[in-house]
Amino acid sequence: MINKRIEKLLANVQKPGRYVGGELNCVMKNADEVDVRFAFCFPDIYEVGMSHLGLKILYSQLNTVPYIWCERVFAPWSDMEEEMRKNAVPLYALESGDSISGFDMIGFTLQYELSYTNILNMLDLAGIPLKSRDRHSLSQLVVAGGPCACNPEPLADFFDLFFIGEGEEVDLEVIELYRKYKKQNRSKEEFLIAAAQIQGVYVPSLYEISYNEDHTVKAIIPKHGAPTPVKKRVMMDLDKSYFPDKFVVPYIEIVHDRTVAEVLRGCIRGCRFCQAGFLYRPFREKSVDVIDKQCHDLCDHTGYDEISLSSLSTSDHSELNELIDRLHTWTEAENTGISLPSLRVDNFSTELMSKIKSVRRSGLTFAPEAGTQRLRDVINKNVTEEDLMKTVNTAFKGGWTTIKLYFMIGLPTETLEDIAGIAELGQKVVDAYYENPDKPKGKSVKVTVSASSFVPKPFTPFQWEPQDTMEVLRKKQRHLVASVRTRKVEPNWHEADTSFMEAVFARGDRRLCDVLLEAHESGCKMDGWQDFFSFSKWMEIFKKCGIDPAFYANRRRSFDEVLPWDHIDYGIKKSFLIEECKKAYSDTATPNCREQCSSCGAACFKGGICYEERQSMV
């Protein structure tokens, strides 16, 4: 619902469909009949935010509560922002068209470090004071959740509270408490002190941080009885956990324009670079019955003709073949396709291939992550070259001719030999194609080897590691290109400077709040978009604030250093991460959760794979 003031802006912007709401299944309520108005803010443009599953789940769930109206808010593209500022139209929610400054709660989802400046820009566009201490009333409470909330410190000055872990329960508990305190006219301080007692709530203003002379953290001291550590929330029974039966269906094309079913949470693998693999432990599956019903309901209510079976590693679902068979009982008749976004190199079978191909063909992407077996053991990516060759041969037999391989460069202990190994692996895949008697006739093969730069993240065994400097990363990128000897292998890579910025904010502390504020005031926004990101501008800002970004990105921490996120607890023991880090340096792999428990600590959540019977190891 948009009003005349907004309509007038739309004549001058690209893709006005981003800014109007009114889509199929969007939830309309009467603002006078609800107690809590919640603005679900995604700090990127509509097409990106609307593709995000977490938004779909929480939007629908909050709106099932009669007294809450949850609305969606996205970052406007620069043309729309310019129009809004010129005409003094504040940031508004898509459902009502109302300015979000009058909302009770403004919630952001933190998916990506380079979207942090968009958060400040959105608050500013809404006319909401940026710093928590400058917002005095109980309403206009600014909250956040999502994976980047695992180290919320670079954003600590701006947010009133963070949700740690999975949001389905804790969001509702906090909103319920808010409603009670609002009715009783209690103060924001009283509310925050009470909210901090809910498991999974982190109120940054209730923790005092002191620093050593070398700028490392000295101590983290809680106040007003706030807990330390703050333990994450987790939904232990996915079958009973809320999942929407309908999604808002955008008018305009978005990044992932399809039905998304979540088949499992967590990952059994324990790749040492992967933050999600640790944050979402323990591994929990949804049952075939529940997934099948959820897919069918969603397709019925949206009209989408494609289902994506989403998770960190869908092919690790123990009943994947049964699931796809079950889905096929109705998808074929309804002309609906099934796609698997994440396939593993070591369990891609002919059977699975024939099943996903039967309706529609999508490209094949695998992630060996490193070019040599030694380095794959370092990062605990337990796939072998043999696995990869078997898999690509299966794919070639099935008629695929383009394969994309993902790698990382800048991994701990990496040498130029490992980099050359990436090109060699690409070459071996090309060779396998030509040696394959069943290859499609008259077609050439294309193997894309895509190399992103490794960013060390909190709550991984590599959280103490320095990131390679940009010079080293660029040298390695050039070495990769030089190592490729055929046009059938196409190398590509990510810019090292954005990876550097990610590394700074991923492991940053509260001293970065001032940097973010300065960046916002200097006009930094949409840093995840190459057309906006300016590395030189950022370097000026760091200089102006007297902060050395290399302190965060390129410094090796010692195991006994107090880390800025040490008061946040994802159930993974620090001693386990240290042990894993040491094993990485001795090229030793760790078995996956299905093979053997490695006592990471996630068993404290009392469920999931930690309590399942393991397959016989005989």
Partner 1 sequence: MKNVRVWFKKIGTARYISHLDLNRCMLRAIHKAKIPLWYTQGYNPHAFITFPLPLSLGISGERESMDMKLDDDLITREELIEKLNAALPDDIPVFDVTEPVMKPGQIAFASFVMKVDTDNPEVTAAEISELFSREKVVVPKRTKNGFIDLDLKPYLDRTEVISRSGGVEINTILPAGSTMNVNPSLLCDAIKKYLQLDLYTDIQRMNIYDADFKIFE
Site of interaction with partner 1 (CB under 8 A): 1-2, 7-8, 10-11, 16-17, 19-24, 249, 251-253, 300-305, 334-335
Distance CA 536, CA 542 (A): 10
What lies within 8 Å, CB to CB, of 385 at 6+ separation is 373, 425, 428
Beta-bridge partner residues of 151 = none
In the bound state with partner 1, the residue whose beta carbon lies nearer, of 60 and 111, is 60
User: Which of 331, 498 has the CB closer to partner 1?
Assistant: 331
Q: In angstroms, rounded to a whole number, what is the distance separating the alpha carbons of residues 197 and 579?
A: 32
Distance from C-alpha of 54 to C-alpha of 69, rounded to nearest angstrom: 17
SS3 369: strand
Q: Output helix, strand, coil percentages for the chain, rounded to the nearest 5.
A: 40, 15, 45
Query: Which is nearer to partner 1, 22 or 523 (by Cβ)?
Result: 22
Provide the pairing of β-strand 264-265 with 284-285: antiparallel
Q: Which neighbouring-strand residues pair with 409? A: 453
We find the least distance from the C-beta atom of residue 69 to partner 1, in angstroms, to be 17
Taking phi first (over 0 means left), then psi (-120 to 50 degrees means alpha), and beta for anything else, what does residue 174 get?
alpha
Looking at the Cβ atoms of 213 and 253, the one nearer to partner 1 is 253
Decide whether 5 or 582 has the Cβ nearer to partner 1.
5
Residue number, 301 or 479, with CB nearest to partner 1: 301
Q: Which residues contact 240 (CB under 8 A, 6 or more apart)?
A: none
CA 565, CA 574: separation in Å to the nearest integer?
Answer: 11
Q: What's the min distance (Å) between Cβ of 365 and partner 1?
A: 23
Tell me how far apart the alpha carbons of residues 94 and 87 are, in angstroms, rounded to a whole number.
18
Report in angstroms how near the CB of residue 336 gets to partner 1 at its nearest. 8
* Min separation Cβ 439 and partner 1, Å: 21
Contact (CB, 8 A) for 99 and 122 = no
CB of 205 to partner 1, least distance (A): 40
Which is nearer to partner 1, 23 or 566 (by Cβ)?
23
Shortest distance in whole angstroms from residue 552 CB to partner 1: 42
| Secondary structure E strands in 217-268 | 217-222, 230-231, 259-262, 264-265
Helix (H, G, I), strand (E, B) or coil at 493: strand
Nearer to partner 1, 85 or 544 (CB): 85
The nearest distance, CB 46 to partner 1, in angstroms, is 12
For partner 1, the closer of residues 17 and 129 by Cβ is 17
Least distance to partner 1, CB of residue 23, Å = 6
Nearer to partner 1, 8 or 614 (CB): 8
Q: Which two tokens stand for residue 467?
A: 């990131």
Nearer to partner 1 (CB atom), residue 129 or residue 250: 250
The helix/strand/coil state of 427 is: helix
Tokens at 586, concatenated: 């001795």
Burial (0-12, 13-18, 19+ Cβ within 10 Å), 586: exposed
In angstroms, what is the minimal distance from the CB of 248 to partner 1? 10
Query: What minimum distance in Å lies between the beta carbon of 91 and partner 1?
Result: 18
- Nearest distance, CB of residue 64 and partner 1, angstroms: 21
Give the C-alpha separation, 46 to 42, whole Å. 8
Distances from the Cα of 123 to the Cαs of 68, 73, 116, 187, in angstroms? 21, 11, 11, 22
Q: How far is Cα 482 from Cα 207, in angstroms, rounded to an integer?
A: 50
